[in-house]
């Protein structure tokens, strides 16, 4: 692997651009000082270029975008699904938006919202964060129900809606469906992640007769950082994506960063202002005495 003046120049340019994105408020949940501390983790030109390349690939959904995605879920995606399933028909979208956020009217709607938790006896935080955000801005709290109380819901409740930041490998939702036996309750289980891998969505949805997965946006193998088509880390006669993958793994090993490529080995760099999916490159959010994080999990 060779780093020349062109690569070094690109490193500096990307870092400066990243700082500008913070200063103008686009990366709105990051401080320049936090970015600088994260950059201080990297010791030589090769490591610094790797860090800069990840920053250049970063998909960051800021608060405004996340709110827009929430509006998309509540005003378009969920109404469409309920219509398709013949559960509820929305004739006036303005009335619908008022009803789902009204203590008086929400309780009469034929669906409830809930949170995926305690998968494999582990508490999952991301779904709770997303559910709390959506409940604050769009859905009345009367629509919320704990998973352990779903079986007690009356027959007039036809669907349970779950939200999350990401469907990556699909292991979490698959395990959750198996552990809870929700597919056998006779109610539709609607899972709406902010982002999902298309292949995983198709595979998991096909396993359950009552599960509907409808993400806000799809990701695919082209969003994996260490892909062969990533021109940022593939330059003839200088370096390849495999060179940088080995360097990355070495950095993680030296700093005791576990699960380097994230859950499912997806190697993503996709961050929401209020949540960092665990499918991301772990050095973005990992923290210990010797490693400064960039984003909070």
Residue 260 has pLDDT above 60, yes or no: yes
Separation CA 166–CA 285 (nearest Å): 16
Q: What is the mean pLDDT of residues 56-71?
A: 96
> How do the domains of the chain map onto residue ranges?
5-57+221-284, 63-219
The pLDDT assigned to 122 comes to 45
Q: Kindly report the average pLDDT of the chain as a whole number.
A: 94
Separation CA 8–CA 129 (nearest Å): 39
Residue 121 has pLDDT above 50, yes or no: no
Q: What is the pLDDT of residues 184-240, one digit of tens each?
A: 999 999 999 999 999 999 999 999 999 999 999 999 989 999 999 999 999 988 999
- The answer to whether 147 touches 180, Cβ cutoff 8 Å, is yes
pTM of the prediction?
A: 0.91
Confidence category of residue 257, pLDDT binned at 50, 70, 90:
very high
Separation CA 126–CA 166 (nearest Å): 9
The pLDDT assigned to 5 comes to 78
The pLDDT assigned to 123 comes to 45
The pLDDT assigned to 184 comes to 95
In CATH, the number for domain 63-219 is: 3.40.50
Q: What is the pLDDT of residues 11-45, one digit of tens each?
A: 999 999 999 999 999 999 999 999 999 999 999 99
Q: What is the pLDDT of residues 164-200, one digit of tens each?
A: 999 999 999 999 999 999 999 999 999 999 999 999 9
């Amino acid at each position: 692997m060779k780093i020349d003046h062109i690569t070094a120049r690109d490193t500096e340019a990307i870092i400066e651009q990243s700082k500008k994105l913070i200063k103008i408020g686009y990366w709105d949940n990051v401080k320049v000082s936090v970015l600088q501390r994260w950059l201080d983790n990297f010791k030589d030109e090769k490591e610094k270029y790797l860090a800069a390349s990840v920053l250049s690939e970063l998909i960051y959904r800021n608060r405004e975008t996340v709110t827009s995605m929430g509006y998309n879920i509540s005003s378009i995606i969920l109404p469409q699904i309920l219509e398709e399933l013949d559960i509820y028909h929305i004739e006036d979208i303005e009335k619908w938006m008022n009803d789902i956020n009204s203590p008086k009217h929400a309780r009469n709607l034929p669906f409830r919202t809930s949170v995926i938790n305690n998968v494999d006896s582990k508490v999952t935080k991301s779904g709770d964060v997303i559910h709390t955000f959506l409940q604050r801005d769009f859905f009345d709290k009367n629509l919320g129900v704990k998973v352990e109380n779903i079986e007690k819901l009356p027959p007039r409740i036809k669907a349970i809606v779950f939200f999350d930041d990401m469907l990556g490998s699909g292991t979490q939702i698959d395990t959750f469906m198996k552990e809870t036996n929700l597919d056998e309750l006779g109610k539709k289980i609607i899972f709406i992640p902010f982002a999902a891998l298309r292949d995983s969505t198709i595979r998991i949805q096909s396993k359950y007769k009552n599960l509907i997965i409808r993400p806000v946006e799809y990701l695919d193998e082209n969003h994996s950082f260490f892909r062969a088509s990533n021109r940022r880390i593939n330059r003839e006669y200088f370096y390849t994506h495999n060179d940088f993958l080995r360097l990355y793994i070495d950095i993680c090993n030296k700093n005791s960063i576990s699960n380097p490529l994230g859950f499912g080995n997806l190697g993503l760099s996709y961050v929401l202002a209020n949540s960092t999916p665990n499918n991301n490159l772990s050095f973005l959010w990992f923290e210990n005495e010797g490693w400064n994080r960039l984003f909070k999990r």
